[in-house]
Amino acid sequence: MTPGDAQPNRQGQNRGRIPTRPNRLVNPEMVETVRSMFPHVPTAAIHYDLQKTGSVEQTCDNILRDGSLPMPPAPRPPTPPTTASSSSSSAGPSVTNGNLVQRFKLQEAAEKNYVPEEPSKVWGDSAEKRQEVFKSRKEFMVLQARKRMLEKEAEKAQAEAKEVAPNTES
């Protein structure tokens, strides 16, 4: 890389923009060269690293150093443009995503104000066991947070009732 190549990136930083890594052109021969030496590394990971480094040698060094290469990040779906009126609306994300009680299907427990015992903090032997513990911990935290929220609302309502009561007697 020559000093002149770094100049546009510095100018981009000076304008307040977030610098992005340059996408270097990667030809199929470069990918095939690395792939022939390291057939266990996925082609997408090779291509992604070559875009970052621009060098077959550097990509090979990365594989030798780390044993493999990271996969490229998943492409993000385009976000729809938001207008000022929709972003200031109070019914934004909660309407589209639903609340946590609905998302975790905890309506029955919420209606009964049931909060289960805190699940154990033990690392499970299998992935299924860990997933089950993780799910129960999420459910516990949602119900516990809901209980705290309801208690705070009740305290607030009592405080407001006490403030109103002395004013009505006068």
One domain, residues 118 and 159? yes
pLDDT at 29: 93
pLDDT band per the 50, 70, 90 thresholds, residue 99: confident
Would you say residue 30 lies in a domain?
Answer: yes
* Domain, as residue range, for 164: 98-169
Would you say residue 90 lies in a domain?
Answer: no
Which CATH number is 53's domain given?
1.10.8
One domain, residues 157 and 114? yes
Would you say residue 47 lies in a domain?
Answer: yes
Would you say residue 4 lies in a domain?
Answer: no
pLDDT at 83: 52
pLDDT at 161: 85
**Domain count of the chain?**
2
pLDDT at 95: 40
pLDDT band per the 50, 70, 90 thresholds, residue 104: confident
Residue 121 has pLDDT above 90, yes or no: no
Chain-wide mean pLDDT for the chain? 76
One domain, residues 58 and 107? no
pLDDT at 169: 54
One domain, residues 105 and 53? no
Would you say residue 5 lies in a domain?
Answer: no
One domain, residues 102 and 60? no
Residue 91 has pLDDT above 70, yes or no: no
pLDDT in tens, 135-150: 888 888 888 888 888 8
One domain, residues 50 and 104? no
In this predicted model, which residue has the larger pLDDT, 167 or 45?
Answer: 45
Residue 16 has pLDDT above 80, yes or no: no
Would you say residue 76 lies in a domain?
Answer: no
pLDDT at 88: 43
First and final C-alpha spacing in the chain: 82
One domain, residues 106 and 160? yes
pTM: 0.38
Top-confidence range, 40-54, 107-121, 123-137: 40-54
One domain, residues 105 and 56? no
Would you say residue 28 lies in a domain?
Answer: yes
Would you say residue 1 lies in a domain?
Answer: no
